[in-house]
Amino acid sequence: MSGQPKKLIANNKKAYHDYFLEEKIEAGIELVGTEVKSLRMGKCSIKEAFVRIDNGEIYIYQMHISPYEKGNIFNRDPLRPRKLLLHKYEILKLEGKIKEKGYTIVPVEVYFNKGRVKLMIALAKGKKLYDKRADIKAKDLKREAGREFKIKNM
């Protein structure tokens, strides 16, 4: 592949709003050919997706990859569970953290890295309502300061 090594396909803005993301891990995804072709066209959504660990293996559920239009019989179910590719020690580490109260694993972004589809997952702790309000307030203040700066420099 020529050009940049990382090409973003989809990201999960909701994850940044609803969780404190503590540790990010890059994972591969087990896909079939038509799903990869669909991803190359940017047809992916992880807004409703979630990650679970089942008997030592890690899966992503509700990740929507639209069927490839030229794929006919080779297309799979767009919402099928997909296995994530991580080392055993990484899965065991995540599993230990999840057993602690308040932790979960959330998908953050899907991208191509040197021609391979990767999923960035994060160990996350849920935000309380007042945390979300504080984030919104900080974002609004930053936006206002940006506007004032722009008006001043015109």
Question: What is the arithmetic mean of pLDDT over 1-28?
Answer: 78
Cα–Cα distance, 107 to 104 (Å, whole number): 10
Whole-angstrom CA distances from 106 to 1, 49, 95, 136 are 29, 8, 13, 21
Query: Cβ(56)–Cβ(86) under 8 Å?
Result: no
Higher-confidence position of 1 and 152 = 152
The DSSP secondary-structure symbol of 139 reads H
Residue that the structure tokens 């191509």 belong to = 112
Q: What is the mean pLDDT of residues 123-140?
A: 78
Residue written as tokens 């700066």?
Answer: 149
Task: Summarize pLDDT for 59-86 with one digit per residue, the tens.
Answer: 888 888 877 777 666 666 677 888 888 8
Supply φ then ψ for residue 16, to 5 degrees: -65, -30
What percent of the chain clears pLDDT 90, i.e. is strictly above it? 1
Q: Return the closest-CA partner of residue 34 out of 64, 1, 72.
A: 72
State the burial class of residue 9 (Cβ atoms within 10 Å of its Cβ: 0-12, 13-18, 19+).
Answer: buried
Average pLDDT, the chain: 80
